[in-house]
């Protein structure tokens, strides 16, 4: 994940944004909001752990050694985290290269050669080669790169990978570094990228200067092409967000923003569960219920006229 100047990762609220370098963070990032959506990764975590254990060369020798086996199992449990961190680092390197290509095309200072050398040092230069081919084939004209945007109405901020003109149309672009499948094709994008792009499109302001907190009104309209671009080692595959579904993904994003806010309120409200002791013992002879009179009727307690005072929680609940 790239690190925009105004973004900060927090332990309690996820990634947050501030209005300037001198102000505290105040709104969640687009990716933090989307992260409120449940994900079913339990199967993937189990697969990564099992695969790691099966491929560990220490496994045969550990079968008869419980202590060594516990160490292998601990490493296997961490396999998904190791994979995630390595994939994130690779994604950062690829994103950095893509940014430098755009900066060079815009006539701005860039580190394109250094970024490509870093990819090569990690055996990842094919990502750069495929990206260069896509860039030339689509005749990309960059307008802004790593553009931080803000929406006051809903309350969020984020950073767009690229704003460009392609074929005469303004495009908002989000890059995703992807693996290659068994057929040599780049793996498909997740539909969540549409939420990310439509949230960017709904920006109200874009950043001009992070140090001073200078912003300007959003100037790229409400009808750009929204492109998710999957970057792989064998190909780059751009996918256009379907205009017919944008409103639904926007509504879903707004709902997830409310979930984030409610979670923040709930986490700060205090302890959800409190200890409770037994009820105090009643005074007088015996602690049991009142005995029936000669007619066999249990006398009503003196409740001061409150019809629910002696009914107990269950009875009050049933009345409501």
Amino acid 285: pLDDT = 53
Q: Tokens at residue 168, please?
A: 């005469």
72 Cβ contact list (under 8 Å, min separation 6): 53, 56, 58, 59, 62
Nearest to 102 by CA among 115, 90, 91: 115
Is it true that domain 7-267 has CATH number 2.30.30?
Answer: no
Contact indicator for 186, 235 with CB cutoff of 8 Å: yes
Amino acid 266: pLDDT = 92
Cβ atoms within 10 Å, residue 268: 9
136 Cβ contact list (under 8 Å, min separation 6): none
- Taking the chain (320 residues) in runs of 10, the rounded mean pLDDT of each run is 85 95 97 87 62 75 77 71 79 97 98 97 97 98 98 98 97 96 94 97 97 96 94 97 97 97 91 94 62 52 43 36
Amino acid 181: pLDDT = 94
Angle, nearest 10°, between helix axes 112-121 and 125-138? 140
Amino acid 222: pLDDT = 83
pLDDT tens digits, 24-67: 999 999 999 999 998 755 565 666 666 776 777 887 877 777 87
Q: Residue 91: how many CA atoms within 13 Å on its side-chain side?
A: 18
Amino acid 311: pLDDT = 36
Nearest to 253 by CA among 216, 201, 293: 201
Q: CA-to-CA distance for 111 and 153, rounded, in angstroms?
A: 37
Phi first, then psi, for residue 25 (nearest 5°) are -65, 150
Amino acid 60: pLDDT = 80
């Amino acid at each position: 994940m790239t690190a925009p100047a105004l973004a900060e990762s927090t332990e309690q609220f996820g990634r947050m944004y501030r209005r300037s370098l001198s102000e505290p963070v105040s709104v969640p990032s687009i990716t933090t909001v989307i992260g409120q959506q449940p994900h079913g990764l339990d199967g993937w975590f189990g697969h990564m752990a099992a695969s790691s254990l099966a491929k560990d060369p220490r496994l045969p020798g550990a079968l008869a050694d419980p202590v060594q086996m516990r160490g292998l199992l601990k490493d296997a449990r961490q396999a998904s985290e190791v994979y995630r961190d390595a994939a994130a680092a690779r994604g950062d390197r690829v994103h950095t290269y893509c940014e430098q290509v755009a900066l060079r095309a815009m006539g701005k200072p860039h580190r394109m050669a250094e970024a490509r050398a870093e990819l090569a040092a990690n055996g990842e230069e094919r990502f750069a080669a495929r990206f260069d081919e896509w860039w030339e084939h689509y005749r990309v004209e960059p307008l802004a790169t790593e553009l931080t945007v803000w929406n006051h109405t809903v309350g969020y901020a984020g950073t767009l990978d690229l704003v460009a003109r392609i074929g005469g149309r303004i495009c908002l672009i989000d890059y995703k570094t992807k693996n290659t499948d068994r057929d040599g094709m780049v793996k498909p994008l997740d539909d969540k990228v549409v939420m990310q792009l439509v949230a960017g499109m709904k920006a109200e302001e874009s950043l001009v200067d992070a140090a001073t907190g200078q912003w300007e009104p959003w100037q790229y309209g409400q009808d750009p092409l929204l492109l998710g671009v999957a970057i792989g080692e064998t190909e780059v595959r751009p996918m256009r967000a379907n205009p017919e579904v944008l409103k639904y993904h926007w509504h879903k994003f707004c709902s997830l923003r409310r979930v984030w806010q409610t979670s923040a309120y709930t986490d700060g409200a205090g302890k959800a569960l409190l200890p409770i002791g037994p009820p105090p013992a009643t005074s007088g002879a015996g602690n049991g219920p009142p005995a029936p009179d000669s007619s066999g009727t249990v006398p009503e307690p003196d409740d001061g006229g409150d019809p629910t005072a002696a009914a107990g929680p269950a009875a009050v609940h049933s009345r409501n």
